[in-house]
Amino acid sequence: MAEHDTTHFGFQTVNKDEKVKKVADVFHSVAARYDVMNDLMSFGIHRVWKLFTIELSGVRTGAKVLDIAGGTGDLAAKFAQRVGPEGEVVLADINESMLRVGRDKLIDRGLGHRVKYVQANAECLPFPDNHFDVITIAFGLRNVTDKDAALASMQRILKPGGKLLVLEFSKPQSTLLSKAYDLYSFRALPLMGKLVANDADSYQYLAESIRMHPDQETLKSMMLTAGFATVKYHNMTGGIVALHVGNKA
């Protein structure tokens, strides 16, 4: 395989087309237990991270919002309540199983009719230029094969003055925390995956994909290169998670 045809799937080097299929298989496998595992893995703290993202988005009544890799709809549900009937919320995910789980969850909460559902690849988003006020992607960017293409695609469809929020696992800020986090990630996560979701391999990939994801400063630089005028990031839980916020000029 030529170097430009390959990418990372966790710690493995694979063909880019192969990564797309492998990531799809992971999320087809974990979709049904995704919410339960999120609560277990993060001890429920993922809800605080997502709430902080919602608050920093500044979404108001009438806004147009796109949640990419929106999975089971946590952010989309909050946005639907905030934008009101005159706003627009689109839940997009490349994975059909995750999109179905998210749609069913939102219907159960009485919000299904307030959200549009689109199966889409973040690298080539099927929306017009300058359309959305806010775009979010939570714990999804690390699974994208061509992150630069995805960031450029998001920048294109944001309105001038619009905001992109990238919530993602990142690099812990202390050596001690980093060592403890490694131990937890590579020992506990696969075991939880095996016991709860009957799938240790997918959660081994999760731990590996987090380590291969760009750190805080690298992702900030990538967002600036993609055309965002300003980019700031906020470390949470000691840098285990970071929220990057980029504004389009």
Closest by CA to 213, choosing from 239, 238, 232, is 239
* Helix/strand/coil for 57: helix
* E strand or H helix that includes residue 47: helix 46-57
Burial class (CB in 10 A: 0-12, 13-18, 19+), 248: buried
Q: Please report, for residues 7, 111, 224, the alpha-carbon distance to residue 72 in angstroms, rounded to integers and kept in the order given.
A: 27, 13, 29
In Å, what is the CA distance from 101 to each residue of 20, 27, 35? 20, 11, 10
Rounded to whole angstroms, the Cα distance separating 26 from 24 reads: 5
Please report the DSSP string for 58-116 in residue order. Answer: T--TT-EEEEET-TT-HHHHHHHHHH-TTSEEEEEES-HHHHHHHHHHHHHTT-GGGEE
76 is in an annotated binding site: no
**Cβ(34)–Cβ(108) below 8 Å:** no
Rounded Cα distance between 115 and 102, Å, is 10
Locate 148 and state its tokens. Answer: 């630069």
Answer yes or no: is 72 a known binding residue: yes
Which residue numbers belong to the known binding site? 72, 93, 121-122
Which residue numbers belong to the known binding site for S-adenosyl-L-methionine? 72, 93, 121-122
